Amino acid sequence: IAGITQAPTSQILAAGRRMTLRCTQDMRHNAMYWYRQDLGLGLRLIHYSNTAGTTGKGEVPDGYSVSRANTDDFPLTLASAVPSQTSVYFCASSMEGSTDTQYFGPGTRLTVL
């Protein structure tokens, strides 16, 4: 692995189903982030983690949960998907916190029907 990876690449999901988007980085970055990107709205922060064991809410956290059990992994879970969660989801990481450069994964395209 080089950098930051996400899985799956894309997914079509029935409303009401539970879904976990995976994110893994091998850069030993302390901070990780989840964004969603929607046409006309730009990138919006869902949740973040400044270091393993801690998480925080971003601009649009409702309907999403995260965990940070170790440095490398930062999964995003939709407990009960709704159509408004149809979006492109990007995971990102940075060495430290908000003043540092962020590196993005390739994204997951999620469609909730």
Partner 1 sequence: RKEVEQDPGPFNVPEGATVAFNCTYSNSASQSFFWYRQDCRKEPKLLMSVYSSGNEDGRFTAQLNRASQYISLLIRDSKLSDSATYLCVVNQAGTALIFGKGTTLSVSS
What is the smallest separation between the CB atom of 1 and partner 1, expressed in angstroms?
16
43: contact with partner 1 by CB under 8 A: yes
CA separation, residue 107 to residues 16, 54, 63 (Å) = 22, 23, 19
Residue closer to partner 1 (CB basis): 46 or 112: 46
CA separation, residue 80 to residues 16, 49, 64, 67, 94 (Å) = 4, 22, 9, 17, 29
8: contact with partner 1 by CB under 8 A: no
One symbol per residue from 69 to 108: x for binding partner 1 (CB under 8 A), - otherwise; what is it?
A: ---------------------x------xxxxxxxxxxx-
Among 5, 58, 63, 73, binds partner 1 (CB under 8 A): 58
13: contact with partner 1 by CB under 8 A: no
Counting Cβ atoms within 10 Å, is residue 98 exposed (0-12), middle (13-18) or buried (19+)?
exposed
